[in-house]
């Protein structure tokens, strides 16, 4: 311990190295349930690339594990500390280095908050589309680490589609530059994509070149009520099959609607079994809403309410944005799944989750990015009740299995971390898993980068 601190302080200012146990404990874990976390030996908060390189050189020299972190808003335990590790918190590397309207790129450090970047580029008539639910707290580095998405990804895509290039500090302290700043570029293997979603296991992202888009027109939203998950699923299938391009297509089940009403008293229709929200930011969003409204009615919607303006649209979306907080209030703790299935099988997943909830005698609400089949079944439980916690974990595993049975994947945007290592092995199979472990060994032969995560 003394040697580690001495070597760290050889290249870092004293205020960048935290060792007080009460302080370091606050950096030990992210927001996931059922994920073990260790006690870090130190927390380092670098302000520049050279300080990060120094940390990795020391870690390699002393064979000390390093856990890169952003804002710790993750939901899979990927940012959790291991015993004796150095937590490398990148939140102080928070500069927007460049916004280039001609080439439509932004160059940012990993600690930049997603919402801050969005506001900065909006001032120049541009947009950075990926918008995770935690966008006002989460960092770009964390978004890259988990390959995050958000409400708008049905039309605009996820983080991986906006990362053009990276600067990455490797396990031994070398600085690697990947990708490009041009609109096109196919030289060599796509190492940039390899780092996106790698959850800090291959290197430490210290700079990112991000693609931007022109700011979209105003968005209008409609809400459609359905008497069954099957009907809502049919509506989603019809909307996408007809070639519509909604800017968002979100779904809340009856459990979630009831929870939101209890928390916010918004008066959402509790008679509905599924509430679908569709948004359009096209040149004529009212016409698109009218067309989609007809498709929803044809699929069995009992009520369709289109917004007349942006203010009404935001009111309709407020319930969706409050969903996770509302579900957490049900029993005090939540375990949030992140299962993505083919759109055509969305209703099967919703019905299957309802059956799992009944079987385990639990409240499980589902909110979903319905347009791309990415669902968030949220298990509500009392963490102080051992039996209820056991049932919560059991239900989580059954939902994972259901997602794979339906031809889906165990995570659409939250990542694997600690929570889903076993399930990743099932999804990849032995050959796929061994190849991915081989890539890990190539980049991190000593196994010091975020050990115990993903594999």
In a domain, 411, yes or no: no
Query: Per the structure, how many domains does the chain have?
Result: 2
Q: Which pLDDT score is estimated for 429?
A: 96
Q: What does the chain come to in residues?
A: 455
Per-residue pLDDT of the chain (455 residues; tens, 9 = 90+): 799 999 999 999 999 999 999 999 999 999 998 899 999 999 999 999 999 999 999 999 999 999 999 999 999 999 999 999 999 999 999 999 999 999 999 999 999 999 999 999 999 999 999 989 888 999 999 999 999 998 888 999 999 999 999 999 999 999 999 999 998 999 999 999 999 999 999 999 999 999 999 999 999 999 999 999 999 999 999 999 999 999 999 999 999 999 999 999 998 888 899 999 999 999 999 999 999 999 999 999 999 999 999 999 998 899 998 999 999 999 999 999 899 999 999 999 999 999 999 999 999 999 999 999 999 999 999 999 999 999 999 999 999 999 999 999 999 999 999 999 999 999 999 999 999 999 999 999 999 999 999 99
C-beta separation of 446 from 199 below 8 A: no
List of residues 6+ apart from 172 with CB closer than 8 A:
56, 57, 60
Q: Which of 165, 3, 30, 177 is nearest to 89 (CA)?
A: 30
Q: Which pLDDT score is estimated for 248?
A: 95
Residue 293 CA: distances (Å) to CA of 218, 225, 235, 242, 440: 19, 11, 9, 13, 48
Residue with tokens 């450090």: 109
Decide which of 198, 214, 230 is a domain's last residue: 214
Are residues 259 and 202 located together in one domain of the fold? no
Q: Which of 342, 350, 338 is nearest to 411 (CA)?
A: 338
* 426 bridge partner residues: none
Domain coverage including residue 396: 220-405
Decide which of 405, 424, 443 is a domain's last residue: 405
The rounded distance, in Å, linking the Cα atoms of 37 and 27 is 10
In a domain, 448, yes or no: no
Find the CATH number of the domain harbouring 306.
Answer: 3.40.462.10
**Can you read off the two tokens belonging to residue 317?**
């979306």
**Can you read off the two tokens belonging to residue 348?**
């099967």
In a domain, 24, yes or no: no
Residue with tokens 């070639």: 243
**Can you read off the two tokens belonging to residue 3?**
């040697």
Q: Which of 52, 273, 290 is nearest to 172 (CA)?
A: 52
Are residues 277 and 400 located together in one domain of the fold? yes
**Can you read off the two tokens belonging to residue 57?**
């050189």
Are residues 205 and 228 located together in one domain of the fold? no
- Sheet architecture: strand order including 86-89: 17-18, 42-44, 86-89, 66-69
The rounded distance, in Å, linking the Cα atoms of 149 and 132 is 6
In a domain, 327, yes or no: yes
The rounded distance, in Å, linking the Cα atoms of 394 and 71 is 29
C-beta separation of 106 from 96 below 8 A: yes
Residue 415 CA: distances (Å) to CA of 144, 150, 326, 439: 10, 13, 23, 18
Are residues 203 and 270 located together in one domain of the fold? no
Find the CATH number of the domain harbouring 206.
Answer: 3.30.465.10
Phi-psi region of 34 (alpha: psi -120 to 50; beta: other; left: phi over 0): left
- pTM as predicted: 0.94
Are residues 192 and 263 located together in one domain of the fold? no
């Amino acid at each position: 311990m003394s040697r580690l601190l001495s070597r760290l302080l050889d290249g870092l200012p004293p205020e960048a190295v935290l060792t007080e146990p009460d302080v370091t404990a606050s950096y030990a874990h992210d927001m996931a349930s059922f994920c073990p976390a260790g006690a870090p030996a130190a927390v380092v908060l670098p302000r520049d690339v050279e300080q990060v390189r120094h940390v990795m050189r020391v870690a390699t020299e002393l064979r000390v594990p390093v856990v890169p972190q952003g804002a710790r808003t993750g939901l899979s335990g990927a940012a959790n500390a291991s015993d004796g590790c150095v937590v490398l918190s990148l939140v102080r590397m928070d500069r927007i280095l460049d916004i280039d309207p001609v080439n439509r790129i932004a160059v940012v450090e990993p600690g930049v908050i997603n919402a801050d970047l969005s506001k900065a580029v909006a001032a120049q008539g541009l947009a950075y589309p990926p918008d995770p639910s935690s966008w006002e707290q989460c960092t770009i580095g964390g978004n890259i680490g988990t390959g995050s998405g958000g409400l708008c990804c049905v039309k605009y895509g996820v983080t991986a589609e906006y990362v053009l290039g990276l600067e990455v500090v490797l396990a031994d302290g070398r600085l690697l530059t990947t990708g490009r700043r041009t609109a096109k570029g196919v030289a060599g293997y796509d190492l940039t994509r390899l780092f996106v979603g790698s959850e800090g296991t291959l290197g430490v992202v210290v700079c990112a070149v991000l693609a931007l888009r022109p700011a979209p027109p105003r968005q209008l939203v409609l809400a459609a009520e359905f008497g069954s998950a099957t009907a809502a699923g049919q509506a989603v299938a019809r909307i996408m099959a007809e070639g519509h391009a909604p800017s968002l297509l979100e779904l809340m089940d009856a459990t979630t609607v009831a929870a939101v009403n209890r928390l916010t008293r918004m008066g959402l229709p509790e008679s509905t079994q599924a509430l679908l929200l569709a948004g359009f930011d096209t040149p004529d969003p009212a016409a698109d809403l009218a067309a989609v409204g007809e498709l929803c009615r044809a699929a069995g919607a009992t009520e369709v309410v289109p917004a007349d303006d942006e203010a009404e649209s935001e009111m309709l979306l407020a319930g969706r944005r409050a969903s996770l907080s509302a579900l957490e209030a049900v029993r005090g703790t939540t375990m949030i799944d992140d299962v993505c299935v083919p759109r055509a099988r969305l209703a099967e997943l919703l019905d299957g989750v309802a059956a799992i909830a009944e079987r385990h005698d639990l409240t499980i609400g589902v909110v979903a990015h319905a347009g791309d089949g990415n669902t968030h079944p949220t298990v509500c439980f009392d963490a102080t009740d051992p039996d209820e916690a056991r049932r919560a974990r059991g239900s989580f595993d059954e939902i994972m299995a259901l997602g794979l049975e339906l031809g889906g994947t165990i995570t659409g945007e939250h990542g694997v971390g600690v929570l889903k290592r076993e399930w990743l092995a099932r999804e990849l199979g032995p050959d796929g898993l061994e190849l991915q472990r081989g890539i890990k060994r190539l980049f991190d032969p000593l196994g010091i980068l975020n050990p115990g995560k993903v594999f």
